[in-house]
Amino acid sequence: MLFSSYEFLFAFLPLTFVGYFLIARLGREPAVAWLVICSLFFYGWWNPTYLLLIAVSMLVNFRLGQILSKRADPDGFSGRLWLSAGVVFNLSLIAYFKYTDFAIESVNNLAGTHIPLKEIILPLAISFFTFQQIAYLVDARRGLAREYSFMHYALFVTFFPQLIAGPIVHHRDMLPQFMRDDAMKPHVSNISIGLTIFAIGLFKKTVLADGVAQFATPTFDAAARGETLSLFTAWGGALAYTLQLYFDFSGYSDMAIGGARIFGIKLPLNFHSPYRATSIIEFWRRWHMTLSQFLREYLYIALGGNRGTSLKRYRNLLLTMLLGGLWHGAGWTFVVWGGLHGVYLTANHLWRRFFPGVDGFNNKPLVRLVAWLVTFIAVVIGWVFFRAVDFDTAVSVLAGMAGVHGVALPNGIAMRLGDLWLPLQAIGIETYLGGGTDFVQTWLWIAMLLPVALLCPNTQQIMRTAEPALNMHQCQPSDELPMPSALSRLRWEPSARWALLIGFLATVAIFAMTRVSEFLYFQF
């Protein structure tokens, strides 16, 4: 059941909301049980078979968490043993369901064998709920999380707004909110704030992300078929996907944050205008922030972090990003994407170390612009590997972006340029038949959405007076492109004017749901 579906908007969400607060009159525990039942129904909507998987996963991790928090010596051998057992159990689930066929296919390609693939269907959200529970076990060992009620633990794992694609939440952040004295009563402020954030996210998904998606997919499909791409075609497809991915996933995160806020729950922030970042380091502080925090706290630091020599630090950074890439998908393109960002981050840290005075993080506009451009191009190159179905497809798109296959415009556009076409033809720009409408629409969408991603305030900035999420991002002005002062003053308030505006956005978004597609991060 998609957030952007009629079933969710007009049946599941209102029934779950009304039922929760009606049942809450009977007590906290019946209300919690209702949310767990509804969340499991939400998860089982796609494939009821995997309800058994998530139930077993929760039972095992709940029991291990009890052992770690109550019985095991957290700093002794038993604590390490039980934590290791929990990590191995969780990673084994991901390894089997997500990477078995990938491993078999890799062996077949390398060794020339013909081991049949198992064709395992990837359970929805397995990467998210598994990482979330690993974090719980680590926190339980550290004494930061303790849970005595399985029903409460099940709510922590399955709470439907964040179940499928995050944000990845911590037990210590979410469960105490349900235990507040006023948590079982509906509040008009929470409902209005939540619906506003949800509506903005829905508009991002159904209008912006799905609108530009139709111009990203054909480019990568053409490259996969072996067709050569000219400069503008390749860049058009890469930029269209860059924008689709951002508005798709940030739209989902907004809907998750807004959906939870309706129930009075604040989820952590997951995006903060990452394409405005002027360095790769800052980009990863803004993109999929809860995953970045997880990788830093539970993988990078576990590998040794920045302790020891600089060489070990950069090794740990590279390994973290390689594993982060593999987490996103069972394919070598994801490994390359993760490794590429590991190299980017290493280069960024080395630049700061050896050139601290000229690292692009001062307030000179030209320096900031150059730093942003380098960062943005590096991110777009990485997204090509992230999107491509295989390595050859990615190389083909990148070759087109580099101009290897020349520069060409549709013949219809060349004809309309009149005398302006002659100097363009003189410098080697060619023409091709057909595709003029798609070419124009692709670049119009890019021209419309890129300024939104770069210059407009994001959802959290618009809602800043309403404390929309946990862990609001703080940065220095030099870490991002400047926002126009007029737009920076845009601020939501509970007024008729804002109600009309949000109502209009929601209406447009609902009418656009006829062409809606699954969220991109559902495949991870």
CA angle (210 as vertex; 205, 216 as ends), nearest 5: 130
Amino acid letter, residue 480? E
Task: Report d(CA 90, CA 129) in Å as an integer.
Answer: 10
Residues pairing with 408 in the sheet:
430
Tell me, yes or no, if 114 is annotated catalytic.
no
List the one residue out of 179, 178, 159 whose CA is nearest residue 169: 159
Cβ atoms of 401 and 235 within 8 Å: the answer is: yes
- Could you tell me which of 386, 79, 440 has the C-alpha nearest to residue 244? 386
Which residues is 409 bridged to in the sheet? 431
Which residue carries 């794992």 as its tokens?
A: 157
The amino acid at residue 141 is: R
Give, for 108, the enclosing helix (H) or strand (E): helix 77-111
d(CA 27, CA 160): 21
Find the helix or strand (DSSP H, E) in which 323 lies.
helix 310-328
- Distance between start and end Cα atoms, the chain: 16
Q: Which helix (H) or strand (E) holds 430?
A: strand 430-432
Classify residue 480 by its DSSP letter. Answer: B
Helices 77-111 and 126-142, axial angle in degrees (round to 10): 150
* Residues 6+ away with beta carbon under 8 Å from 131: 168, 291, 294, 327
| Active-site entry in 152, 272, 288, 328 | 328
β partners of residue 432: 410
- Asked if 134 contacts 57 with a C-beta cutoff of 8 angstroms, the reply is no
CA dist list (Å): 107 to 116, 117, 359: 11, 11, 43
Cα dihedral 14/20/21/23 (nearest 10): 130
Known catalytic residues are 328
